[in-house]
Structure 1
Amino acid sequence: MARPRRNPPSFLLTLLLVFGLICVKIETRNEKDDDQEEYISAVGDPGMRRDGLRVAIEAWNQCNEVGEEAPFMGSPRAADCFDVYKGKETFSICNCIPHILVHRVTEVDNKLGVGQPFPGGRPEALTNINLYAAEKELYLGSKCQVEDKPNPWQFWMIMLKSGNMDTYAANCPKNGHRVGPYGPNHAFPCFGKGCMNQPLIYHDYTTLQGPNITTLRGRFFGSWDLDADLRKGIVEKLSYYSVTWEKELARGSWVFHHVLRTSTKYPWLMLYLRSDATAGFSGGYHYQTRGMSKIIPESPNFKVKFTLNVIKGGGPRSQFYLMEIGSCWKNNGQPCDGDVASDVTRYSEMILNPKAPLWCRADKPRFCPPYHTFPNGVRVHRSDIANFPYEAYHLYCAPGNGEHIEEPNILCDPFSNPQPQEILQIVPHKVWGDYGYPTEKGQGWIGDPRTWELDVGRLSQSLYFYQVKINFFTNDLHFA
């Protein structure tokens, strides 16, 4: 995941984003012979109603690598996957335990770090920190996997990322090409050697709680400040994240509660809940991933349904996405194959935070996509001041390996993905109403919880992406 870069604030930026996420469904549409539409779920747990939860966590540095493991944390991949059994079916001599959770991933699995072998891990990964994390994710996925049709599925993925980058360390490629140390670069926050560290990841395994022992609850939490004492929760002036999940046994849906706070040392942090493809590359990665989407949705035939309740925001310098979709294809339209020099990650993001400034304007066309396409198919150029909806866009940035990019333009941050990237950020506006998206600032924000049904596939097909007109197939969807 990556963002277009602006200079980071020189003061402490405190970001606290909390939301409940319920009933997530990703549906793909099939055309029947009688012209009726038929919907099937693309995710393994439609509606998040399955008691036996599958959830995992991953952490990345600025360029979607690991770089260095945090002390005593192991490789930054962990999972909480369990099944629920009735006690009388499990314990033949005692009915005193109504239900029991059987966890598929142990603490030993979650604490695996570079150099420690595990089943299925390739030998070359044992000494390669970045490859080890990717292989560990596949291993955890195999332990969490649920057989299904047409494909098995593994887990919802919580993704953490820090935007710190040490330009003297030469850890990140530039548009897919390795570069040596350089600096200083004021666009990237870094307090010095070690600023790209991975976070502390603590885990409260899911258990049955509450007065009737019917509430399923668990969480991951931690900090990028390696000296943080989190026994009392959020510590003043230190970075912090927490993701808690909760559900009543055999009733309702899972609710995910997210908290993220930045700090002076870590002013650029990200937290997502992702539905990744169950196999293949997800947007932003050059490794195989594992996830919840057993079908890869392809535009225009998929919708996403979910409930969102934003409790607190982080001010105008923070972005909160109603949803992000990400995928990967080359500039010639061919699918990505792991070649970071020619693969391009494409992101589309709706910024829900009403305090976010608008950079796309008639007098600043370089921040706008070259074209906007209306739902009726009419396409207008950004030079058409009377008809182009400038206020519907926050920013467009072009991929750094594009050969025929329309002028004027800005290029996306060349470092924060292993490969070049293209980002299109939209904001609430009436032009998106036909797709179910918010039409006015503040809709769905603090004090306005809503259940959304977004025609993501149809919208994504109408959005501008560089050079090649093809269907947008999304390998990962992100809620943040």
Structure 2
Amino acid sequence: MRRDGLRVGFEAWNFCNEVGKEAPLMGSPRAADCFDLARTHAFSRTQGLNNGEGNSLIHKVSDANNRLGVGRPFPGLSRQALNNADLYAAEKEVYLGSLCEVDDKPKPWQFWMVMLKNGNYDSNSGLCPENGRKVPPFKPGRFPCPGIDCMNQPLFHHDMTSLSSDGSMMRGGFYGSYELGSEGGGLNSGNSYYEVIWEKKVGEGSWEFRHKLKTSKLYPWLMLYLRADATKGFSGGYHYDTRGMLKTLPESPNFKVKLTLDVKQGGGPKSQFYLIDIGSCWKNDGTPCNGDVLTDITRYSEMIINPATEAWCNPKNLINCPPYHITPNNIKIYRNDTANFPYGAYHYYCAPGNAKYLEAPYSTCDPYSNPQAQELVQLLPHPIWADYGYPNKQGDGWVGDARTWELDVGGLSSRLYFYQDPGTTPARRIWTSLDVGTEIFVSNKDEVAEWTLSDFDVILTS
């Protein structure tokens, strides 16, 4: 994040991590702001030497590139994707990645990714598969869908990164709303709103990413993250060929994550704010995912730092707990060991919906909000995580407690429970997405979250 020449992408997903239908006049919901900084020296006639710098930005992606939408060809677009909104977006991401790509060692990379998701689901549409399998529509009521066409993609606006008048600061951003008839208003309107602004002083420090997210009556469930994704293959929750900036994929237990986070507004009691969210994909027999949505499983682990988020896992609700917990010194504690199991360390655990050998009692994850089955391990601040550098009590890292964290994500994730079929070789836990941000989960009223993220770095320890 200290490189002056920034690479940042944008993607928007509907409830099942697809596009469905583009928003009018917005193009496909993939975009990028990628540039290099060029420095030129000004010659002083009075002193006869170079006494100052004139900086300029060389942009790699045009507004026309970002506005590309279904029916409009671009280099590399396949025939089957030309008029298919889902496939078009996936191939547009690859195309934008080719424009942004940085030739680096050990391999090229493309961009950081701003990811925005709308949690509305019109169950009458039948758009989202159930654990990867196409299913017919079903009666509404299980998921929010307050308005007509509630799964729409957002309005998208882009302030292309530019230099300040004195050439010392760089600033750009993405912003918009899900209410398609709205223009402006921002946080002060009754509409939903998202905004990500990045800013950096030339030649100094880290980029700062300033995020804002607002829910509304029509859009009560929204998600906004800054992601570090794989440069190819699958990323967390995404079953198409991805682009990102993880030149080498981190593998448990051999990596850490360093970041600076300042939460300004939390987003209300329903805001599941993730200090770190990691995602990957492997099958129930431990083999890597291969694109078969019937057998691929998305795996997530998330540390939620909103102190209003309670532990649904408790002695009276073992169904919401993983079958066991593993301590830093590799002692296994089963969830029915009420004297020793750290119930307060877990918000919620749910198993893949297609797992065949689950230990009762169990809860299976929502089968519709990913293109394939998924597994979630949601954590809360607790003393048991202190050895990994994670928050050890409620309120750590929350509003008014800005911190720089060095998290042993690899060590902790190596000891988390993830389901696997009995007798199979343990999966290699290779993580294809790491992100920070919030999921405001079906808010009862308009809520606002605001936070700044900087110095986000993935450190390989072996």
**TM > 0.5:** yes
The equivalent residue for 1:472 is: 429
- Check whether the contact 1:307–1:450 (CA below 8 A) recurs between aligned residues: yes
- Deviation track 1:7-34 (CA, whole Å, cap 9, x = no partner) reads xxxxxxxxxxxxxxxxxxxxxxxxxxxx
Note if 1:229 corresponds to 2:178.
no
Rounded Cα–Cα distance in structure 2 between residues aligned with 1:214 and 1:378: 53
Alpha carbons 1:300, 1:471 under 8 Å: kept:
no
Aligned partner of 2:162 in structure 1 is 207
Give the corresponding residue for 2:19. Answer: 66
Q: What amino acid does structure 1 have at the position aligned with 2:224?
A: L
Please state how far the C-alpha of 1:313 moved relative to its aligned partner: 1.0
Aligned to 2:120: 164
Describe the superposition over 1:392-419 as per-residue Cα deviations: whole angstroms up to 9, x where unpaired.
Answer: 0000001000001111111100000000
Q: Distance in 2 between matches of 1:261 and 1:53?
A: 26
Structure 2 CA distance for aligned equivalents of residues 390 and 338 of structure 1:
35
Length, aligned pairs only:
426
User: Offset of 1:95 from its aligned partner?
Assistant: 11
- Mapped contact 1:141–1:155 kept (Cα < 8 A): yes
Aligned-pair RMSD on alpha carbons? 1.4
1:209, distance to aligned residue in structure 2 (A): 1.3
Alignment match, 1:144: 100
Whole-angstrom CA distance in 2 between matches of 1:214 and 1:297? 34
Alpha-carbon separation, structure 2, partners of 1:321 and 1:192: 28
Aligned residue for 2:143?
A: 188
Instruction: Describe how 1:415-430 pairs up with structure 2 within 5 A.
Output: 415-430=368-383
Matches within 5 A, 1:102-117: 102-117=58-73
Q: Which residue of 2 aligns with 1:336?
A: 289
Q: CA deviation at 1:193?
A: 3.3
Letter in 2 for 1:289: T
Alignment of 1:49-60 (within 5 A): 49-60=2-13
Q: Do the aligned partners of 1:125 and 1:131 also contact (CA within 8 Å) in 2?
A: yes
Q: Which residue of 2 aligns with 1:177?
A: 133
Compute the displacement of 1:236 (Å).
Answer: 2.1
- Distance in structure 2 (CA, Å) of the matches to 1:395 and 1:234: 31
Unpaired segments ≥5 residues, structure 2 = 43-49, 438-462
In structure 1, what is the equivalent of residue 336 of structure 2? 383
Q: Which residue of 1 aligns with 2:152?
A: 197
Task: Give matches, 1:248-259, under 5 Å.
Answer: 248-259=201-212
Displacement after TM superposition at 1:367 (Å): 0.4
C-alpha distance after superposition, 1:413-458 (max 9, x if no partner)? 0000000000000000011011110001001111111100011111
Match of 2:215 in 1: 262
* Equivalent residue letter for 1:218: G
Match of 1:294 among 230, 236, 247: 247
Matches of 1:214 and 1:341, distance apart in 2: 52
Q: CA deviation at 1:50?
A: 0.7
2:212 and 2:359 map into 1 onto residues whose CA distance is 39
Q: Secondary structure of the equivalent of 1:132? A: helix
- Give the direction of change, closer, same or farther, for the CA distance of 1:119–1:178 in structure 2 (3 Å limit): same
CA distance 1:96–1:386, shift in 2 (3 Å): closer
From 79, 84, 109, the counterpart of 1:153 = 109
Question: C-alpha displacement at 1:83, in angstroms?
Answer: 0.6
Q: Which amino acid aligns with 2:194?
A: Y
Cα distance, 1:394–1:123 mapped onto 2, change above 3 Å: same
How many Å separate the matches in 1 of 2:251 and 2:372? 22
Shift of 1:124: 1.0
Helix, strand or coil at the partner of 1:242 = strand
Contact 1:461 1:471 in 2 (8 A): no
1:88 deviates by 4.5
1:34 corresponds to? none
Give the Å deviation of 1:149. 1.1
> Which of residues 306, 311, 317 in structure 2 aligns to 1:364?
317
What amino acid maps onto 2:241 in structure 1?
Q
Match of 1:458 among 389, 394, 411: 411
**Structure 1's 74 and 96: CA in aligned 2 closer, same or farther, altered over 3 A?**
farther
Percent of aligned pairs sharing the same letter: 59
AA in 1 matched with 2:434: L
State the 1:235 CA deviation: 4.0
Kept after mapping to 2: 8 A contact 1:229/1:235:
no
The alignment status of 1:99 with 2:55, answered yes or no, reads yes
Counterpart in 1 of 2:397? Answer: 444
Name the SS for the 1:257 alignment partner: strand
Q: Which runs of 4+ in 1 moved over 4 A?
A: 94-97
- The CA deviation at 1:357 is 1.8
Equivalent residue of 1:319, what SS? strand
CA distance in 1, matches of 2:60, 2:215: 33
The offset of 1:233, in angstroms, is: 3.0
Could you tell me whether the CA contact under 8 Å between 2:8 and 2:32 is conserved in 1?
yes
Q: Aligned-pair distance for 1:96?
A: 9.5
Secondary structure of 1:252's aligned partner: coil
1:27-74 deviation digits (Å, cap 9, x = unpaired)? xxxxxxxxxxxxxxxxxxxxx111100001000000000000001100
Structure 1 stretch displaced more, 399-408 or 187-196: 187-196
User: CA contact under 8 A between 1:344 and 1:422: conserved in structure 2?
Assistant: yes
Residues 373, 96 of structure 1: alpha-carbon distance in 2 compared, 3 angstrom cutoff: closer
State the one-letter code of the partner of 1:150.
P
Aligned to 1:218, which of 162, 172, 185? 172
Moved more, 71-80 or 94-103: 94-103
**What whole-Å deviation, never above 9, does each CA across 1:290-323 have from its counterpart, x for those lacking one?**
0010101111001110101001112221110000
Conserved 8 A contact 2:286-2:428: no
Counterpart selection for 1:313 from 266, 284, 290: 266
* Cα distance in 1 between the residues matched to 2:186 and 2:217: 18
Kept in 2, the 8 Å contact 1:316–1:357? The answer is no
For residues 410 and 36 of structure 2, what CA distance do their matches in structure 1 show? 33
Please tell me whether the aligned partners of residues 334 and 341 of structure 2 are also in contact (alpha carbons under 8 angstroms).
Answer: yes
Q: Distance in 1 between matches of 2:234 and 2:183?
A: 36
The offset of 1:191, in angstroms, is 2.1
Gaps of 5+ in 1: 1-47
Per-residue deviation at 1:213?
Answer: 2.8
Provide the rounded CA distance (Å) in 2 between the counterparts of 1:463 and 1:402: 17
* Counterpart amino acid of residue 205 in structure 1: M
Given that 1:228 and 1:235 are in contact with CA atoms closer than 8 Å, whether structure 2 keeps it comes out as no
The DSSP-based 3-state class of the residue aligned with 1:335 is coil
